[in-house]
């Protein structure tokens, strides 16, 4: 993703395309897997000076407008991924944390059923689905 593309994406959500945000978004967009905050900081800092606090604020901002997604797969760890708009789920290794995307989604049926069965909800905004296992490297 070029700097121009990043700026366009940001401004399409009415977010000012500051250099730090552009750098952040570009790093996020090159990552196929969800990234931790500390990893993200290192990578962005190769490009531009950036404070951890600013990163957090911008991640929250981008998350609020839907440009990035936040994942909470384990205690005390937040992962972020660029929201390309392609709906997908994750296959996660309990050993090393390796993550692979799953591009199938069969949640429609269960979502409909759940809406029929509940009296407390009228709609579903989104959902998460994660598979956990031990990857072939860890199980050796």
Partner DNA sequence: CTGACTGCAAAGCGTTTGCAAGTGG
Partner DNA sequence: CCACTTGCAAACGCTTTGCAGTCAG
Closest distance of CB 48 from DNA, Å:
8
Among DNA, a copy of itself, none, residue 96 binds (CB under 5-8 Å by kind)? none
Question: Which residue's entry shows tokens 């121009």?
Answer: 4
Does residue 104 interact with a copy of itself by CB under 8 A? yes
Among a copy of itself, DNA, none, residue 87 binds (CB under 5-8 Å by kind)? none
Q: Which residues contact 64 (CB under 8 A, 6 or more apart)?
A: none
Biggest CA pair distance of the chain: 51
Does residue 110 interact with a copy of itself by CB under 8 A? yes
Query: Helix, strand, or coil here: 12?
Result: helix
Pick the stretch among 14-22, 25-33, 38-46, 125-133 that binds a copy of itself (CB under 8 A).
Answer: 125-133
Give the side-chain half-sphere CA count within 13 A for 108: 4
Q: Give the residue, chosen from 4, 19, 33, 114, that forms a contact with DNA under the rule CB under 7 A.
A: 19
91 strand-pairing partners: 100, 131
């Amino acid at each position: 993703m070029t700097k121009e593309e990043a700026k366009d994406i940001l401004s399409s959500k009415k977010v000012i395309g500051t250099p730090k945000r552009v750098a952040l978004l570009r790093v996020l967009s090159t990552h196929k897997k969800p990234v931790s905050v500390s990893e993200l900081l290192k990578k962005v800092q190769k490009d531009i000076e950036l404070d951890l606090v600013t990163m957090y604020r911008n991640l929250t901002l981008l998350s609020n407008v839907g440009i990035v997604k936040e994942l909470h797969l384990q205690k005390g760890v937040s992962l972020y991924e660029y929201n390309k708009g392609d709906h997908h789920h994750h296959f996660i290794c309990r050993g090393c944390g390796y993550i692979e995307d799953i591009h199938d989604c069969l949640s429609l049926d269960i979502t409909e059923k759940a809406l029929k069965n509940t009296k407390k909800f009228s709609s579903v905004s989104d959902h998460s689905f994660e598979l956990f296992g031990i990857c072939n490297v860890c199980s050796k």
